């Protein structure tokens, strides 16, 4: 294998997570360990979009010690900024790619690392496909991240474990909160995940590991019917009066229509405009109508993806490992690949880093498999719990100042 | 002062907080230190309501070691359960109180500790007023808790510091999350606090202590106008494209109408408090209409009051101290009082425990004072920050199992 000397560039793309900066820290660690081959590491601001306008920052001088890298790891959301730019088809828009290559050449960039989800892997795939056709050697490796855990060809994705830990811990706290009164009440918590229910499935963890758990869980992988929901609630009320229900924002009717689709909350503003409501608000209205009991719903919203203060140590450690492994593998010749995790065992939990061809990953969505969802479609099986449990384990001791976790702003 | 021998009873009442169990732990510690006078400590389930149906649990055998008490302190929401029962007027319904006294007499209860907010202090006040008129000696002490921080006659209330820390940390994370994109966007975060804006004011902490902060903050203490809001947003957009706005659920028009009134459920609790929701959604619609940019809104909802995983150590420590001090003071003759905090200094932060007559506290609401709110009514002054900052400081190292904080279920 030919040694390739030259600089590296790294970018972050897609929605924020609590672990995406740990992946960046891993890339910085990886490059620092290969300074003989890679003298300079550029960070592109706002992903490929920033690179196209030469908006780059030299990263190595900013992170010369491990303490600063640990602070970066406890910083949520993409420290370099993000974008949602989709690259054109390399066969159709060669000018776009030629411009890109000229920019790489100008900075002697020979290593390209991109941290992101499906769309980012699409960028990696297109860029490496184009590189096959031109006389410029550059190695391109994708580093996965998404709270949705729906990327193909990896056991799980960095960012998911921390989001799952946030969901599990928060639901365990909400269950305690709801348990204090004796009046019948339903609390509906809407969780991110339009097409895959991984994050909502994590709501099953408190109940499965001995704490008090949520009563019902609905994922987009199974059709949702109001008849079944009514029956499920009736049965749950026989056990205790304070029900907590976790639903994915993407739950759908048997006909495939989103439950939240086209629904209106009934609230109107000063101008009489009505608001579109989510699935939670629709179920809230339904429960009020059907059961007449106290009911409320809310979304976990942004905190579920950016609550770095509650990150899973397993997640942050793996995120960094994938980042540094991507660099090592690239120096050894790997390109057009995504760093991925392969589970070796559940007990003790062990994953190894593998590299998978990036072509094809971009367009696949990995859903929660059938054997992880119970027959009634309202809970998670022991197999699902065995998969999820290790991913939320471990807590970091964060560095705080004035009562707030320290965040690194690049 | 006459020594009073007899048993004690403790209850929790009102809305859950992350620190209400630390107050309970304090009472248990206090009673444990006075076993010579108080042989037995009963916990009433679901507050005074449970006591009226003799639903009590003997607490001392459940918490014989400090490790278990620390686990109780890291458990959110009232471990004994709560209620929203309002006691009748002692002058009008003597039969009710005579029944209560008979129950105290039966268990030889001579100490009554009640942990709660305004309504709970109302219970303490009525009970001690009635005790003045009958031949049964019992000492009655209130222990404050409320995330709203609106109780009179105390520098602040246990539960507030932890909720404020959750708000401050979460907003600092949301600001990072929103900063990753370059397109103009407004994120509106709705925070609890119907009549007092203390919790919303805490959103100012990240920006004030050197981190990136939120752009605009609106409290119920100042009238809210859409004209001023528009101007504030226009000015903020001149600085950067990703605006984060923190609003109290209780913001009102100059005429005193809740901004969220259109989305109000119309339901009211036993005390006549109306349920509010929706100011954020109203502003979301307004921004979309006026600025045409990306806009979203969400409520911090239940997690802000029950996120024990992020409790302020200062808060938990003070909550326990008030609990144990209430017991000591009662053994020394104190009754008809509320344990309160008096600030000695900001730097270094120091508070001492004092006792205040409970009569009158119940019906007063302590609002954010004018000097804590900036002239424009959209931010917090340095004086406000000096008040708030110490309350969120300090982090506990919690005991986790399987990735989740251990909770005590009584």
pLDDT at res. A277: 59
- Overall residue count recorded for chain A in this entry: 410
pLDDT, averaged across chain A: 94
Nearest residue, CB atoms, B310 vs list A165, A172, A309 = A309
Query: Would you say residue A374 lies in a domain?
Result: no
B262, B285, B306 - which closes a domain: B306
Look at residue A12 in the predicted model and tell me its pLDDT: 97
Question: Of A35-39, A258-262, A321-325, B98-102, where does mean pLDDT reach its minimum?
Answer: A258-262
Interface size, chain A vs chain B, as Cβ–Cβ contacts under 8 Å:
200
CA-to-CA dists, residue A407 to A77, A244, A291, B55, angstroms: 10, 33, 46, 48
**Quick one: pLDDT at residue A261?**
72
Contact check, Cβ <8 Å, B282/A270: yes
Residue B181 lies in a domain: yes
Contact between B30 and B324 under an 8 Å Cβ cutoff? The reply is yes
Q: What integer pLDDT is reported at residue A84 of this predicted model?
A: 85
The total number of structural domains that make up chain A: 2
Domain containing residue B210: CATH number: 3.40.50.460
Its domain, for residue A287, covers: 164-306
Stretch A401-408: mean pLDDT: 97
| Residue B322 and residue B285 share a domain | no
Q: How many CB atoms lie within 10 A of CB A328?
A: 15
* Confidence band for B261, pLDDT divided at 50, 70 and 90: confident
Asked if the model's pLDDT at residue A242 lies above 70, the reply is yes
Is residue B276's pLDDT more than 50? no
pTM of the complete model: 0.96
Instruction: Tell me the shortest Cα–Cα distance from B146 to chain A, in angstroms.
Output: 14
Q: Is residue A410 part of a domain?
A: no
Examine the domain organization and report whether B103 and B191 are in the same domain.
no
Tokens 């006459």 locate to B2
3-class SS at A182? coil
In this prediction, residue B131 carries a pLDDT of 96
- Chain B residues in contact with A389 by the CB 8 A cut-off are 402-403
Inter-chain touch B278–A267, beta carbons under 8 Å:
yes
| SS3 (DSSP) at B112 | strand
Query: For B180, which of A82, A312, A397 is closest by C-beta distance?
Result: A82
- The rounded percent of chain B whose pLDDT value lies above 70 is 96
With an 8 Å Cβ cutoff, are B403 and A409 in contact? Answer: no
Contact A155, A342 (CB under 8 A): yes
Please answer yes or no on whether A81 and B181 come within 8 Å at the CB atom: yes
Residue range B5-60, pLDDT digits in tens: 999 999 999 999 999 999 999 999 999 999 999 999 999 999 999 999 999 999 99
Same domain, A89 and A189: no
Model confidence over B111-138: pLDDT tens digits? 999 999 999 999 999 999 999 999 999 9
Average the pLDDT over B374-402 and give the result: 97
A149: left (phi over 0), alpha (psi -120 to 50) or beta: left
Is B148 a known active-site residue? yes
Q: How far apart are CA A209 and CA A63, in angstroms?
A: 39
Boundary residue ending a domain (A256, A288, A306): A306
**Is the four-CA dihedral B173, A405, A76, A281 of positive or negative sign?**
negative
Supply angle C-alpha B202, B207, B210, rounded to 5. 125
In a domain, B113, yes or no: yes
The pair of structure tokens assigned to B36 is 């010579």
Cα B172 to Cα B310: distance, rounded to the nearest angstrom: 14
Which residues from B are below 8 Å from A14, CB to CB? none
| Residue B206 falls inside a structural domain | yes
Q: Which residues of B touch A269 (CB under 8 A)?
A: 262, 281-282, 285-286
The pLDDT of residue A210: 73
Q: How far apart are CA B54 and CA B79, in angstroms?
A: 17
**pLDDT number for residue A264:** 46
pLDDT reading at B293 higher than 80: yes
| Chain-chain contact of B281 with A270 (C-beta, under 8 angstroms) | no
Of the listed ranges A72-81, B194-203, B262-271, the one predicted with least confidence: B262-271
Instruction: Compute the distance between CA of residue A33 and CA of residue A138 in angstroms, rounded to an integer.
Output: 19
Helices (H), A211-363: 226-239, 279-291, 303-306, 313-331
Judgement on whether residues B320 and B302 belong to the same structural domain of the protein? no
Q: Evaluate whether residue B410 is within a structural domain.
A: no
In this predicted structure, the answer to whether residue B177 has a pLDDT above a threshold of 70 is yes
Query: Could you say which of A148, A215, A232, A315 is catalytic?
Result: A148
Q: Any idea what the CATH number is for the domain that residue B316 is in? A: 3.40.50.450
Say yes or no: B28 and B100 in one domain.
yes
Q: How confident is the model at residue A268 (pLDDT cuts 50, 70, 90)?
A: very low
Q: Which residues of B touch A407 (CB under 8 A)?
A: 172, 176, 211-212
Average pLDDT of B158-175? 98
Residues in chain B with CB shorter than 8 Å from the CB of A265 are 263, 281
Does residue B70 contact residue B398 with C-beta atoms inside 8 Å?
no
Q: How many C-beta atoms surround the C-beta of residue B107 within 10 A?
A: 16
Q: Indicate if B71 and B169 belong to the same structural domain.
A: no
Return the higher-pLDDT residue of B262 and A25. A25
Interface test mutation site (partner B, options A74, A269, A287, max chain B beta carbons within 10 A) = A269
Question: In the prediction, which pLDDT does B225 show?
Answer: 97
Instruction: Give the strand order in the sheet containing B7-12.
Output: B56-58, B41-44, B7-12, B109-116, B139-144, B337-345, B350-357
Q: Which of B263, B281, B306 is the last residue of a domain?
A: B306
Average pLDDT over residues A224-245: 97
Strands (E), A164-287: 185-191, 216-218, 242-248, 264-268, 274-276
- Residue A129 shares a structural domain with residue A171: no
User: Which residues have CB under 8 Å from B286's CB, separation 6+?
Assistant: A269, A270, B226, B229
Under a CB-based contact definition with an 8 Å cutoff, are residues B165 and B315 in contact? yes
Residue A272: per-residue pLDDT: 45
Report CB contact under 8 Å: B174, A407.
Answer: no
- Among A146, A159, A186, A153, which residue's Cα sits nearest to residue A291? A186
Question: Could you read off the pLDDT of B210-245 as tens digits, one per residue?
Answer: 778 999 999 999 999 999 999 999 999 999 999 999
CA B405 to CA B75: how far, in whole Å? Answer: 8
pLDDT-based confidence at residue B69 (cuts at 50, 70, 90): very high
Say yes or no for a CB contact (<8 Å) between A78 and B284: no
Chain B neighbors of A394, CB-CB under 8 A: 403
Percent of chain A with pLDDT over 90: 89
Strand, helix or coil for residue B211: coil
The answer, yes or no, to whether residue A31 has pLDDT greater than 90, is: yes
B133 and B177 belong to one structural domain: no
* Residues A141 and A12 grouped into a single domain: yes
Token readout for A120 is 């980012």
The count of other CB atoms within 10 Å of the CB of residue B358 is 29
Asked if residue A269 has pLDDT above 90, the reply is no
For residues A160-171, average pLDDT: 98
Residue B381 lies in a domain: no
CB contact set of A395 (below 8 Å; sequence gap of 6+): A312, A313, B398, B400, B403
Radius of gyration of chain B (CA): 22
Query: Residue B198 and residue B179: Cα distance in Å, rounded?
Result: 26
A259 pLDDT above the threshold of 60: yes
Do B170 and B135 belong to one domain? no
What is the tally of helices (H) and strands (E) in chain A? Answer: 13, 15
Under the banding of pLDDT at 50, 70 and 90, the label for residue A263 is: low
| pLDDT recorded at residue B262 | 57
Same domain, residue pair B184 and B280: yes
Q: Same domain for A23 and A125? A: yes
Residue range B66-83: mean pLDDT, rounded: 97
The shortest CB-CB distance from B403 to any of A180, A181, A393 is to A393
Three-state DSSP at B392 gives helix
User: Is residue A176 a part of any domain in this protein?
Assistant: yes
């Amino acid at each position: 294998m030919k040694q390739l000397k030259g600089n590296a560039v790294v970018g972050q793309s897609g929605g924020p997570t609590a672990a995406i900066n740990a992946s960046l820290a891993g890339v910085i660690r990886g490059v620092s360990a290969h300074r003989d081959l890679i003298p300079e590491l550029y960070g592109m601001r706002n992903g490929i979009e920033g690179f196209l306008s030469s908006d780059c920052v030299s990263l190595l001088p900013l992170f010369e010690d491990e303490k600063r890298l640990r602070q970066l790891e406890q910083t949520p959301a993409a420290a370099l900024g993000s974008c949602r730019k989709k690259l054109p088809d390399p066969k159709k828009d060669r000018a776009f790619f030629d411009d890109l290559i000229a920019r790489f050449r100008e900075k002697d960039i020979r290593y390209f690392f991109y941290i992101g989800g499906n769309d980012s892997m699409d960028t990696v795939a297109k860029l490496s496909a184009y590189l096959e056709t031109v006389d410029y050697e550059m190695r391109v490796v994708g580093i996965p991240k998404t709270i949705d855990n729906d990327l193909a060809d990896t056991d799980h994705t960095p960012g998911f474990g921390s989001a799952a830990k946030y969901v599990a811990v928060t639901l365990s706290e909400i269950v305690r909160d709801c348990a204090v009164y004796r009046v019948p009440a339903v609390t509906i918590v809407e969780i991110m995940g339009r097409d895959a229910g991984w994050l909502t499935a994590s709501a099953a963890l408190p109940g499965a590991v001995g704490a008090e758990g949520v009563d019902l869980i609905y994922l987009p992988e199974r059709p949702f019917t109001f008849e079944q929901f009514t029956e499920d609630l009736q049965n749950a009320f026989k056990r205790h009066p304070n029900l907590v229900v976790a639903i994915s924002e993407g739950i759908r009717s048997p006909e495939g229509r989103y439950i939240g689709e086209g629904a209106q909350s009934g609230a109107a503003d000063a101008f009489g405009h009505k608001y579109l409501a989510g699935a939670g608000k629709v179920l809230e209205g339904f429960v009020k109508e059907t059961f007449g009991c106290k009911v409320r719903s809310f979304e976990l919203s942004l905190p579920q993806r950016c609550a770095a203060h509650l990150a899973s140590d397993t997640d942050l450690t793996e995120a960094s490992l994938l980042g540094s492994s991507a660099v090592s593998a690239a120096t050894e010749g790997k390109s057009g690949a995504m760093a991925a995790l392969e589970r070796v065992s559940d007990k003790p939990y062990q994953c190894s880093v593998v590299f998978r061809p990036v072509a094809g990953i971009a367009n696949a969505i990995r859903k929660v498999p059938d054997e992880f969802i119970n027959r009634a479609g309202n809970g998670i099986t022991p197999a699902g719990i065995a998969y999820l449990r290790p991913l939320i384990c471990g807590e970091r001791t964060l560095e705080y100042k004035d009562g707030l976790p320290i965040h690194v702003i690049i």
